Amino acid sequence: MKSAYHTQQRKALEEFFESRHDHAFSVEEIVKGLGGKASVSAIYRNLSALEKEGKVRKTTVPGEREAYFQYVGCVHCHGHIHMTCVDCGATTHLDEEVAASILKNVSASSSFAIDPTATVLYGVCQECAKKRGGVK
């Protein structure tokens, strides 16, 4: 496979994601976060390349048109099921034992193997639930 051409814009985008691996971002949020270090077209081009390389996951939240991108190229993200808050966008890993149990049970009961690297569970994090008045 041909190696990717790493521009300063690509480097800035990768650094942005690596320092914020626990969150998914819209393109607008990425543009603001980079503060002019990359053009919008370069961001889209590099997001596409990073997604093809398996370093960035593109997701959409049910009911929204906007796509969100999260860096999954780091070691501690590989193979984990992610949980994303629909209110604040924070993304965390599902506990490994719980994830393993879910994967095993789904496989055993339905003969279907879930790909944890492509799985995102949507809900509301504890902090946002508190703001809603739902969790003490």
Cα–Cα distance for residue pair 134/31, rounded to 1 Å:
33
- Dump the DSSP string for 111-122: S----GGG-EEE
The confidence score (pLDDT) of residue 135 equals 59
pTM of the model: 0.61
- Please say if the pLDDT value at position 136 is more than 60: no
107, two tokens: 């496989």
- Summarised one tens digit per residue, pLDDT across range 53-94 is 888 888 877 777 888 888 876 555 556 788 888 887 777 888
Instruction: Tell me the domains of the chain and their CATH numbers.
Output: 8-75 (1.10.10.10), 79-136 (3.30.1490.190)
Beta pairing partners, 122: 84
The confidence score (pLDDT) of residue 34 equals 94
Extract long-range pairs of 31-40: CB within 8 Å, 24+ residues apart. 37/8, 37/9, 37/12, 38/9, 38/12, 38/13, 39/9
- Summarised one tens digit per residue, pLDDT across range 32-48 is 999 999 999 999 999 99
